[in-house]
Amino acid sequence: MVGGQGVVSAPPDVAVLTLGASARAATVSDASAQVADAMNRLLNSLKGNGVQEKDIQTVQFSVHEEREYRNGQSILVGFRATHTVRAKVREVAKAGRIIDDAVRAVGDLLQLQGIAFAIDDPTALRAQAREKAMAEARAKAEQLARLAGVTLGRPLSISEGTALPPPIPLPLRAAPENAGGQPIASGEMEVAVNVQVLYAIQ
């Protein structure tokens, strides 16, 4: 049994923004209304920048009391409404501009929780990594067979494990990459395939 690993690097083709709006007001209805208005502006901004409706998903909506402790007593100071969405940006280079436009559209109610990068469909990269992994396993097996004075036969069993990193969360400020918007550095991501191959020997 020998192991092989293949690793292929590629720039991410998707940026995932987590953002939304949050507001505090004296009543639940006022807080909810402020957030609803802000979210309408945010969604219009995202769609105006080409983010498709199917790529925008609500991940949190909440309304809760906010209290402060004064002189040992819990005092109700208002209600906090929060609405957060996850938006998939399929043109990574536009992510900085989309963030800037969201800031302008929503203003101080905007919450930017972060940005992550991913490879939307790693199938082709995984196939390349698999070829490299098998080639490495074969080379190891041939060397071991030669050192042992035997002849390498056919594979008897093959098992595979794939390692695709999850989306990498990054701070919204990073090294400059795209002009005209919030500077975003997407870097590269790796797709790794590990194989274990059992060869016959003669």
Which CATH number do you get for residue 27?
3.30.70.2970
**Kind of pairing between the strands at 2-10 and 189-201:** antiparallel
| pLDDT at 7 > cutoff 60 | yes
The percent of residues above 90 in pLDDT, for the chain, comes to 82
Tell which of 118, 147, 172 closes a domain.
118
Structure tokens at 53: 């409706």
Choose one of 88, 118, 148: the last residue of a domain.
Answer: 118
Chosen domain end from 100, 118, 136? 118
Q: What is the pTM of this model?
A: 0.76
Identify whether residues 99 and 138 lie together within a single domain: no
- Token representation of residue 60: 């949190």
Residue 26 has, within 13 A of its CA and on its CB side, a CA count of 0
Q: Give tens-digit pLDDT for 43-59.
A: 999 999 999 999 999 99
Q: What is the pLDDT of residues 150-198, one digit of tens each?
A: 999 999 999 998 765 555 554 443 333 444 577 888 888 989 999 999 9
Query: Do 148 and 88 fall into the same domain?
Result: no
Give which of 90, 85, 89, 103 is closest to 45, Cα–Cα.
103
> Is pLDDT above 70 for 120?
yes
Closest CA to 136 of 25, 35, 2: 2
CA distances from 21 to 3, 42, 110, 111, 173 (A): 49, 8, 5, 5, 19
**Number of independent structural domains in the chain:** 2
DSSP track, 5-72: EEEEEE--SEEEEEEEEEEEESSHHHHHHHHHHHHHHHHHHHHHTT--GGGEEEEEEEEEEEEEEETT
Measured between alpha carbons, how far is 115 from 118 in angstroms, rounded to an integer? 10
Cβ neighbour number for residue 190 with a 10 Å cutoff? 14
Clarify whether residues 127 and 154 are in a common domain: yes
Residues 54 and 99 in one domain: yes
Average pLDDT of the residues of the chain: 90
**Percent of all residues in the chain with a pLDDT value above 70, rounded to a whole number:** 91
In whole angstroms, give the CA distance from residue 74 to residue 82. 22
Residue 73 and residue 6: Cα distance in Å, rounded?
61
